[in-house]
Amino acid sequence: MAFIRHYKPSDFDAAAQICRETLAPSLVGSEPAWRIGPYVWTHPFTHLSPTTCFVVDDGTGKAVGYCIGCPDIPSFMASYQRYVDDVLDRPGSEVPRPADVCSQREPWTLPDGSPNGTCLAQTAYNAEWLLVSGNEDLVDGGYKATMHINLLDGWRGGGWGRKLIERFVEAVRAGAMPGTRGIMIGVAPDNGKVVPFYERLGFRLDEGGEKGSIRMVRDL
Ligand SMILES: CC(C)(COP(=O)(O)OP(=O)(O)OC[C@H]1O[C@@H](n2cnc3c(N)ncnc32)[C@H](O)[C@@H]1OP(=O)(O)O)[C@@H](O)C(=O)NCCC(=O)NCCS
């Protein structure tokens, strides 16, 4: 029988698969997004903040969905070099280090509109670009926790999303630093259909942010 448990290192490949199979519509079919995506949206959290990372185990040990994140973005950023050293820069890494990882980020898309692999790799290497750029107001306002949630097809619509978020919120409450007000998340602009799900779980739309972005917050 399926159940929720903490992420463990042996879930690495399954977690990457979940990320890849649930990429936002605009990223589907992109080789760089498929290869690098998990190193941007999944592995940083599972590596650096496993106490706030949960998976749905299908009952055989296989992770079929996750809610992963961190309780405190500033502390997470302070530890980010460990992720770079242990995961991104390890021999055989799927994410070659881009020439510039700190001064000038490339555009998100190439002139033909496809995802820019260099920008994705730069984002994987730079926690500021990954989490804070464009969200300074929310982090400064106390929304210092963040998360991602994804379930494989076939595991959706059965209540696992709600249960995962409840476990995540519980863990964040336990690990929150003084001054933390809540959780902020970004939703891909072409995946707006999930907004009602988040609203059911206590999130609300935030009107700020860059034009076209969808940001949501939830108080703890
Ligand atoms: C989004 C996702 C995590 C939701 O998980 P889920 O298990 O399907 O959702 P649940 O069954 O737990 O639904 C929780 C509640 O939200 C409601 N809900 C879910 N989707 C909804 C929708 N599109 N519109 C309105 N309500 C919705 C459910 O009715 C349920 O309400 P209740 O618990 O009050 O009865 C899952 O569908 C998924 O992984 N989708 C694909 C990947 C994705 O888009 N991830 C989000 C990236 S930002």
Name the band, by pLDDT with cuts 50, 70 and 90, for residue 39.
very high
Q: 68-96 pLDDT, tens per residue?
A: 999 999 999 999 999 999 999 999 999 99
Residue 155: the pLDDT is: 98
Residue 43: the pLDDT is: 98
Evaluate whether 108 touches 210 at the Cβ level (below 8 Å): no
Q: Is 196 in the pocket of ligand 1 (CB under 6 A)?
A: yes
The CA 151 to ligand 1 mean position distance, Å, reads: 9
The CA 124 to ligand 1 mean position distance, Å, reads: 27
Is the pLDDT reported for residue 178 higher than 90? Answer: no
**Residue with CA nearest ligand 1 atom 19:** 197
The CA 146 to ligand 1 mean position distance, Å, reads: 18
Q: Is 191 in the pocket of ligand 1 (CB under 6 A)?
A: yes
Name the band, by pLDDT with cuts 50, 70 and 90, for residue 200.
very high
Give me the mean pLDDT over the 197-201 stretch: 98
Q: Is 194 in the pocket of ligand 1 (CB under 6 A)?
A: yes
- Measured between alpha carbons, how far is 165 from 67 in angstroms, rounded to an integer? 7
Is the pLDDT reported for residue 58 higher than 90? Answer: yes
The domain 3-219 is placed in CATH, from the list 3.30.1660.40, 3.20.20.150, 3.40.630.30, 3.40.50.2020, at 3.40.630.30
Give me the mean pLDDT over the 170-182 stretch: 92
Name the band, by pLDDT with cuts 50, 70 and 90, for residue 211.
confident
Q: Is 158 in the pocket of ligand 1 (CB under 6 A)?
A: yes
User: Which atom of ligand 1 has the smallest separation from the CA of 185?
Assistant: 48
Is the pLDDT reported for residue 212 higher than 90? Answer: no
* pTM assigned to the model: 0.96
The CA 201 to ligand 1 mean position distance, Å, reads: 9
Q: How many CB atoms are located within 10 Å of the residue 45 CB?
A: 23
Q: Give the contacts of 115 (CB within 8 A, at least 6 positions apart).
A: 26, 27, 30, 32, 33, 108, 109
Residue 163: the pLDDT is: 98
Q: Is 200 in the pocket of ligand 1 (CB under 6 A)?
A: yes
The CA 200 to ligand 1 mean position distance, Å, reads: 8
Q: How many CB atoms are located within 10 Å of the residue 71 CB?
A: 24
Mean pLDDT of the chain: 96
Task: Show me where the domains of the chain are located.
Answer: 3-219
